[in-house]
Amino acid sequence: ANPLHGCRRVPLGAIEYVAVATPRFVKSRLGEGISRESISNATQIVFDRKDLLPQQWLLNAFGEPAPLAGHWMPSYSGYMACLLNGAGWGMMPRFSVEGHVEDGSLVELVPGTSVIVPLYWQSSGPGSEIMKLLSAVVVDVARRHLISTPEENFKRSASSAG
């Protein structure tokens, strides 16, 4: 995707999303095994109507999408609470569930299967000095904390070479 007319777009990196649920949910709703069919019959927590991460994860995990039913939870903290309370399975950034996976309160449904979402910072052309400073801070912090992407690596190399 190209930036809006008159704007510049800078790749920041990416976030890795994983499918997780409580061990109790997996045992009670996916006890026969985790498959495309069992996932499509299990309750899913969805962020909003535009949330395509679960379908992308199904493609990555099983090679095809499936019909999904679930509950909308357009709140990060509410979404996490639903997952931890065993209300369904859902997609969360890996960095936000690592501790829960390590302590056993959540499990990855298909370990090693994830969805990588690239992120960009878009700002207007030359911009004011304060916007330039804000942009520099956002890019610096993002590049230290997000997954590096090939496009973002190319931009880093090009900017450090000049």
Is the confidence at residue 28, as pLDDT, over 80? yes
Q: How far apart are alpha carbons 30 and 109 in whole angstroms?
A: 9
Q: How far apart are alpha carbons 64 and 57 in whole angstroms?
A: 9
Q: What is the pLDDT of residue 151?
A: 63
* Banded pLDDT at 152 (limits 50, 70, 90): low
Instruction: Give the model confidence (pLDDT) of 87-122 as tens digits.
Output: 999 999 999 999 999 999 999 999 999 999 999 998
Q: What is the pLDDT of residue 149?
A: 81
Q: Which neighbouring-strand residues pair with 72?
A: 46
**Chain mean pLDDT for the chain:** 89
Q: How far are the Cα atoms of 13, 75, 140, 145 from residue 155, in angstroms, in the given order?
A: 11, 33, 13, 17
* Banded pLDDT at 161 (limits 50, 70, 90): very low
Beta pairing class for 107-108 and 7-21: antiparallel
Q: What is the pLDDT of residue 17?
A: 97
Residue reference for tokens 């985790």:
34
Q: What is the pLDDT of residue 128?
A: 84
CA 18, 22, 23, 26 torsion-angle sign? negative
Q: What is the pTM of this model?
A: 0.85
Is the confidence at residue 127, as pLDDT, over 80? no
Q: What is the pLDDT of residue 5?
A: 81
Burial (CB count <10 Å: 0-12, 13-18, 19+), residue 43: middle
Counting residues of the chain whose pLDDT is more than 90, the rounded percentage is: 73
